[in-house]
C-alpha cells in the first residue's frame, strides 16, 4: 500500500531549501540529503557528485553522506559502472534492489543495500551534477510518491543552484569590468606620461623644429602600434592574418620601437626567437608594454643615457625572462606599497600565464625576473 502523501512535509522542505538558498547557499545539498532521509524514512542518503576526467567517462565522488554509509564520505566510484550512472542516463528516478549483487565494488566494501532510490541532479543546460541516493533497510519501502517528491525537491535545488551559479558569474563579470576600467585609466595616464617624456627628451636632442616634429611623430605612431598589441580586443577576427609580431622578436621590436632613437639603441635584446599564440601575444605585450612604460616614466628610459637589457632562455618547461635597467635615476629605496602598474604586471604573469614574478629595486635600476610556462606561450 502506498505511503500517505505528506503535503505539509513537502511545503516545509521547499521552504527550508528556499531559506538555505538565500542565507546559506553552500548548505543546499546537505539540506537536500537531510530532508530526503526525513521525508522517506531512509536509513542513509547522500550525493554522488559527478566529476569529469580527461580520457575517461569520469567518476562519482560521495558527498554529504548521512546515516550508516557516512564513513564512506569522499569515496569514488566509476561513472559507467554504477547505479548512479544508470540513473543519469535514464534522466529519471530509478529504483534498484541489492546493487551489491551487480557491482563488485559495492560488495567488496561489505555494504548491503536492500533498496535504493536514485534521483538525477542536473544544474542547467543539461549539466550533470550527480545523483541523490536514498537507502532503505527493507525491500518495498519506496513507492511512486517518494519518487515524485524527491524529483520535485531535486528540481527545486537544481533551479537554486543555477541561480547561484548565475549570481557568481555576474559578480565575477562585475569584478572583471571594474578591473578593466582601472586598467584603462592606468593606460591612459601612462600614455600621457610617456608622451611627455618623449617631448622632453626629444626637445633636448633635436637639432631643429622640423627634426623634432618628425622624430616625435614617428615615435607616437610606434607607441600607438605597441599600445594596440597590449590592448585586448574581443572583436578581433579569428581569421585575421598573423604578422611578424606573432613571434617574440617581432613583439619586442613593436613594443620597444617608440623608445629607440637614431643616436643609439637603448635596448639590448638577447634570446632565441619563438612563435607566440594569439592569447600569449596579447598577454606578453601587456607585460612588456607595462615594463617599458614604467621605465620611461621613472626608470632607465627617463634619462638620456639609460638602457634596458631584456633576455630570455629555456629552462625545462618554462621560459625565463630577465629585465634589467641601468643608467636611470638612482633608486634609494623600493616603493613603500605596490602600485596599480605593479599589480597589473603581477596579475598578468601569475594569473594569465600561471607563471612567477620577482621584482628587485637595485640602486642602479630595476631588475625583474619572470618565468612563463612554454605551454602558455603557445595558446
pLDDT tens-digit map of 169-179: 667 777 777 77
Which of 34-43, 141-150, 195-204 bottoms out in mean pLDDT, i.e. has the lowest? 195-204
**Backbone CA torsion sign across 222, 223, 224, 227:** positive
**Angstrom distance (rounded) from CA 355 to CA 150:** 47
Q: What does the domain layout of the chain look like in residue ranges?
A: 7-168, 207-377
pLDDT of 302 > 70? The answer is yes
Which string of b and e fits 146-171 if b means at least 16 CB within 10 Å? Answer: bbebbeebbebbbebbeeeeeeeeee
Residue 322 pLDDT class (50, 70, 90 cuts): very high
| Residue 96: per-residue pLDDT | 93
- Please report where in the chains the cell 511545503 appears, as a residue: 11
Class of domain 7-168: alpha beta
Distance of CA 218 to the CA centre of its chain: 39
pLDDT of 207 > 90? The answer is no
Range 360-378 average pLDDT: 91
Portion of the chain with pLDDT greater than 90, in percent: 21
62 vs 29, residue with greater confidence: 62
C-alpha cell at 65: 553522506
Q: Which of 247-251, 310-314, 347-351 ranks highest by mean pLDDT?
A: 310-314
Task: Answer yes or no: are the C-beta atoms of 166 and 21 closer than 8 Å.
Answer: no
Tell me the Ramachandran region of residue 77: left when phi exceeds 0, alpha when psi lies from -120 to 50, beta otherwise: beta
270 vs 130, residue with greater confidence: 270
Q: Which of 232-236, 297-301, 308-312 ranks highest by mean pLDDT?
A: 308-312
Class of domain 207-377: alpha beta
Question: Which residue from 356, 345, 346, 354 is spatially nearest to 375, judged by alpha carbons?
Answer: 354
| Residue 116: per-residue pLDDT | 93
Rg of the chain over all Cα atoms, to the nearest angstrom: 31
Going through the chain in order, the beta strands assigned E by DSSP cover: 44-51, 59-67, 76-78, 94-96, 115-122, 128-136, 267-270, 307-315, 318-326, 356-362, 365-373
| Residue 357: per-residue pLDDT | 93
pLDDT of 325 > 90? The answer is yes
Average pLDDT, the chain: 78
C-alpha cell at 107: 560488495
Strand order of the β-sheet with 44-51 is 76-78, 59-67, 44-51, 128-136, 115-122, 94-96
Amino acid at each position: 500500500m502506498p505511503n500517505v502523501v505528506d503535503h505539509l512535509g513537502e511545503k516545509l522542505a521547499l521552504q527550508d531549501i528556499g531559506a538555505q538558498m538565500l542565507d546559506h547557499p553552500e548548505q543546499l545539498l546537505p539540506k537536500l540529503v537531510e530532508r530526503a532521509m526525513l521525508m522517506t524514512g531512509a536509513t542513509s542518503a547522500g550525493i554522488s557528485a559527478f566529476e569529469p576526467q580527461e580520457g575517461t567517462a569520469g567518476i562519482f565522488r560521495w558527498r554529504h553522506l548521512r546515516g550508516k554509509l557516512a564513513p564512506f564520505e569522499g569515496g569514488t566510484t566509476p561513472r559507467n559502472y554504477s547505479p548512479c550512472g544508470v540513473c543519469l542516463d535514464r534522466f529519471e528516478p530509478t529504483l534498484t534492489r541489492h546493487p551489491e549483487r551487480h557491482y563488485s565494488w559495492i560488495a567488496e566494501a561489505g555494504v548491503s543495500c536492500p533498496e535504493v532510490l536514485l534521483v538525477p541532479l542536473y544544474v542547467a543546460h543539461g549539466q550533470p551534477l550527480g545523483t541523490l541516493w536514498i537507502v532503505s533497510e527493507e525491500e518495498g519501502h519506496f513507492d511512486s510518491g517518494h519518487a515524485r517528491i524527491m524529483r520535485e525537491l531535486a528540481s527545486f535545488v537544481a533551479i537554486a543552484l543555477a541561480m547561484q551559479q548565475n549570481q557568481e558569474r555576474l559578480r565575477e563579470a562585475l569584478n572583471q569590468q571594474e578591473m578593466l576600467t582601472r586598467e584603462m585609466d592606468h593606460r591612459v595616464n601612462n600614455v600621457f606620461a610617456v608622451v611627455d617624456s618623449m617631448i622632453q627628451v626629444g626637445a633636448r636632442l633635436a637639432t631643429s623644429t622640423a627634426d623634432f616634429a618628425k622624430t616625435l611623430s614617428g615615435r607616437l605612431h610606434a607607441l600607438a602600434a605597441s599600445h594596440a598589441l597590449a590592448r585586448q580586443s574581443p572583436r578581433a577576427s579569428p581569421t585575421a592574418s598573423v604578422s611578424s609580431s606573432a613571434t617574440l622578436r617581432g613583439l619586442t621590436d613593436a613594443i620597444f620601437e617608440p623608445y629607440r632613437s637614431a643616436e643609439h639603441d637603448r635596448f639590448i635584446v638577447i634570446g632565441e626567437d619563438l612563435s607566440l599564440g594569439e592569447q600569449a601575444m596579447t598577454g606578453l605585450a601587456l607585460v612588456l608594454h607595462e615594463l617599458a612604460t614604467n621605465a620611461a616614466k621613472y626608470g632607465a628610459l627617463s634619462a638620456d643615457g639609460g638602457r634596458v637589457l631584456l633576455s630570455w632562455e629555456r629552462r625545462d618547461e618554462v621560459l625565463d625572462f630577465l629585465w634589467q635597467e641601468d643608467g636611470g635615476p638612482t633608486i634609494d629605496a623600493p616603493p613603500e606599497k605596490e602600485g596599480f602598474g605593479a599589480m597589473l604586471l603581477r596579475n598578468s604573469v601569475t594569473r594569465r600565464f600561471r607563471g612567477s614574478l620577482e621584482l628587485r629595486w637595485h640602486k642602479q635600476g630595476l631588475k625583474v625576473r619572470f618565468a612563463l610556462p612554454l605551454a602558455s606561450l603557445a595558446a
